[in-house]
Amino acid sequence: MYTSYFGLEEKPFSIAPNPDYLFMSDRHREALNHLTYGLGDTGGFVLLTGEVGTGKTTLSRRLMENLPENTQAAFILNPTLSSQELLATLCDELKIRYRKTGATLKTLTDKIQQKLLKNHSDDINTLLIIDEAQHLQPEVLEQLRLLTNLETNTKKLLQVILIGQPELQQLLQRRDLRQLAQRITARYHLLPLNKQEVAQYLKHRLSVAKCFRNIFDKSAVNAIHKTCKGIPRLMNLLAERSLMNAYNSNNAVVNRKIVLQAAHDALGDEFQVNPWWRNSWIKAGGLMGALCLVLVAGVWWGAYQSRDIGQYTQVTDATKSQADTIVEQKQLTHQEIPATVSSADGVSGESSNAINSTTNQLSSVVDKNNTQSKQNKVNPGNSVTETTHVKTSSDNTVIADDKNEFIASEKKLADSQTTMQKIVPAVKKATSNNFVVKAEEGVSDALLASFKSAIEQTQQSNEPRDNFAVENSELIPLTQMPTWVQDGVPSLAFEMHIYASDGQGWVRVNGRDRYEGDYIGRELLLSEILPQQVVLSFRGEKFTMAALSSWN
């Protein structure tokens, strides 16, 4: 089917243990060297273990092909036999004639020993290879050990190779098999292929089938390695199905998508490559990230609440301080009240006289109240429930005056304060912008000029300034912004610039009309359209760009 489509002479990914397709990786080459060493002159047992599908049987077939001509080998594939059945099978493999009916364990053992002695006299080595040896019963293994007892002074007459899964190593750790374990002269555990060897394995198989181009791309190789974990048998199944799917979909190259579909079809759901977001470490990382976000949010919320409590405390303290100040102001009078107010430009003489008159009245009332306060402090132990005007006699006796006099003075003070509150701001407003500097005796011209200059500067500073100039005086061009801002701003090309004072202006940037408040790029906001320039905002940083300019 697909062989001619891909230019193959035969199917390259058959699961049959064909030694012609054996990929000699570093591990397989080392395993073959161990087996060859174990078949030396000393003889004994050789142990080869590995996971299912790692190529143990294919490696044993390659070993049998490379055996010397003076070697007679017996290969047993089904070791689920009793001791007598195993010996009978060994006789069949070595071509030993025996009576089928009535053959006992002793009869078979004698026949095998006679064959071993004859081969030794003819300079022929005898080899027994047992595949799937993890299924051997302990008593069968013990019978094999007894067969190897036949030996000369220099070598064993029977050499045994045990090939099995990792469970065989656990079986040989039994106490009753310790004698056999001590006779193992070579051990090797075959491991799966790594990622680099997987790519070489696929190319090797294709080259044996006379295809010398890469049918599997890099993504497909990675998917095969992740799915099969470097086990050759699984890779053969997956690659075979992938070639079939590529042929059905008319694809000349196998990609990751085809491999994943083939894994679902040939190997089942448990061998399908999971997406990256389904990996356990991704889930664990997401959980840890969520916990960190919750922790950060909790810390921020605690700091925010602490700040609010601190601000509330400060406001409360300020309110309390203001209340204390008001109480003190009610108990104490103003310590300094100007005696006279000089008339200035813009203030009439009548207003000035009214102010002076009110000031004199306030001063008299204040002096009177200060005298009362001092007299109240003379006898602090006396409790006065009503506010009264008191006098001190010669014998320090406190005598209460008429309350009506004091109430009248309090009312007069309140009326005077109200008058001052109305007149003084008017005077300040009238004089704040009209200063008159007159030459006085003893004042030099230089000092007078300095006063005039200071007044002019003060008047200029009080004048309203251009809001636009103040607001935009701190904006700088994009070329002077930090590097991270310049790198983050995308390419811009301002092709048209229309400014309108009512805010309805627009610009054409990158071929599209934009208005104030539009986003012209990712996180890039068009804040304002000004004469001959625009104001842009990127991640909270504002800057300007000239009209009809570009940024790359």
For residue 339, being part of any structural domain is answered with no
What pLDDT sits at residue 93?
92
35 band by pLDDT with thresholds 50, 70 and 90? confident
The reply to whether the predicted model has a pTM over 0.75 is no
Say how far apart CA 261 and CA 542 lie, in whole Å: 52
Domain check: are 491 and 505 in the same one?
A: yes
For residue 344, being part of any structural domain is answered with no
Domain check: are 50 and 160 in the same one?
A: yes
Higher pLDDT, 419 or 69: 69
SS3 of 539, please?
coil
Our measurement of the distance from residue 125's CA atom to the centroid of its chain's CA atoms, rounded to an integer in Å, reads: 65
Say how far apart CA 117 and CA 150 lie, in whole Å: 9
Burial class, 417, CB count within 10 angstroms (exposed 0-12 / middle 13-18 / buried 19+)? middle
- Amino acid 204 reads H
What is the CATH number for 69? 3.40.50.300
Each residue's pLDDT tens digit, 494-521? 988 888 877 788 899 998 899 998 989 8
For residue 239, being part of any structural domain is answered with yes
Structure tokens at 296: 């950060």
For residue 463, being part of any structural domain is answered with no
Say how far apart CA 413 and CA 405 lie, in whole Å: 13
For residue 337, being part of any structural domain is answered with no
Domain check: are 140 and 246 in the same one?
A: no
**Number of domain units in the chain:** 5
What is the CATH number for 245? 1.10.8.60
Domain check: are 263 and 284 in the same one?
A: no
Domain check: are 82 and 186 in the same one?
A: yes
Domain check: are 228 and 253 in the same one?
A: yes
Domain check: are 199 and 178 in the same one?
A: no
Judge contact between 131 and 81, C-beta under 8 A: no
What pLDDT sits at residue 268?
73
The rounded mean pLDDT for the chain is: 77
Over residues 266-285, the mean pLDDT reads: 67
Domain closes at, from 432, 452, 476? 432
Domain check: are 375 and 393 in the same one?
A: yes
For residue 447, being part of any structural domain is answered with no
The residue segments making up the domain with residue 322 are 280-331
| DSSP label of 14 | -
Domain check: are 41 and 123 in the same one?
A: yes
Domain closes at, from 190, 225, 245? 190
Say how far apart CA 322 and CA 331 lie, in whole Å: 14
Phi first, then psi, for residue 106 (nearest 5°) are -70, -40
What pLDDT sits at residue 96?
92
Domain check: are 44 and 126 in the same one?
A: yes
Domain check: are 202 and 182 in the same one?
A: no
Judge contact between 212 and 228, C-beta under 8 A: no
**Of 42-46, 60-64, 461-465, which range is least confident?**
461-465
88 band by pLDDT with thresholds 50, 70 and 90? very high
DSSP 307-376: HHHHHHHHHHHHHHHHHHHHHHHHHS--S---S-----TT--HHHHHHHHHHHHHHHHHHHHHHHHHHHH
Domain check: are 181 and 62 in the same one?
A: yes
Residues 6+ apart with CB under 8 A from 533: 544, 545, 546, 547
Q: Which residues pair with 542 in a beta bridge?
A: 537
